[in-house]
Amino acid sequence: MRKLKEFPRIETERLILSQLKEEDIPSVTKYLQNKIFSDLTSNIPYPYTREHAEFWLKISKEAFDENTGYTFAVRNKEEQIIGAVGLHDRDDDKAELGYWMGKSFWNKGYITEAAVALIDFGFRELEINKIYATYFLHNPASGRIMEKIGMEKEALLKQHLKKDDEYFDVLMYSVFKNKR
C-alpha cells in the first residue's frame, strides 16, 4: 500500500469521505448502540460504548500513521458523520474493505456510493491490486452491496470468523485493479 503524507478527502455526488475526528465520537457511539451492528459484523461489540468509539478512533489514526489502513468517516454534505468505510492492508498488494452506516441512513445507496469511491482510491492512489470483503451469511444485504460495487463472489470460507465463542462461515467477494 503506497504511503500518503496527508489523510485524503474524497468527495462524491452526495458524500464526503474524510478522516475521523474527536467530535465524531458521540455520533458513532449513538449509531452503534443498535445491537444489529454487533449481530451483522465481526468487530463491533455490544453494548457499544464511548470508550469503544475512542479506541476505534485511536487505532484508525495509528493505522494511517503506520500505513496499514485508511478508515474514512462517511459524511453528508453538511459534514455530519453518517457511517464509515475503510481499506486495510493485508500485504501482497491487497486490502480488505469494511463499512457500516447508521441505521437511519440505510437503503439510500450511501455505502455503495462511498465504497465505489474508496475502491477507485485504493486502485489509483494506493496502488492496490486486489480489494476484498467478507460478510456473514445472515447479512445478505452486505453481499448485494458487494455485487453493486463490482465485486465478484470468490469463496465460501467455512468457520472463518469466531464471534462470541461461535464460528461463522463467511462469503468473500473481491475485485481486481486490472478488471475495472
pLDDT tens track of the chain, all 180 residues? 889 999 999 999 999 999 999 999 999 999 999 999 999 999 999 999 999 999 999 999 999 999 999 999 999 999 999 999 999 998 899 999 999 999 999 999 999 999 999 999 999 999 999 999 999 999 999 999 999 999 999 999 999 999 989 999 999 999 999 986
Pairing of strands 130-136, 94-101: parallel
Structure letter (DSSP) for residue 133: E
pTM reported for the whole predicted model: 0.96
10-128 CATH fold: Aminopeptidase (3.40.630)
Residue from 15, 17, 53, 16 nearest 32 by CA = 53
* Contact status, residue 38 vs residue 89, Cβ threshold 8 Å: no
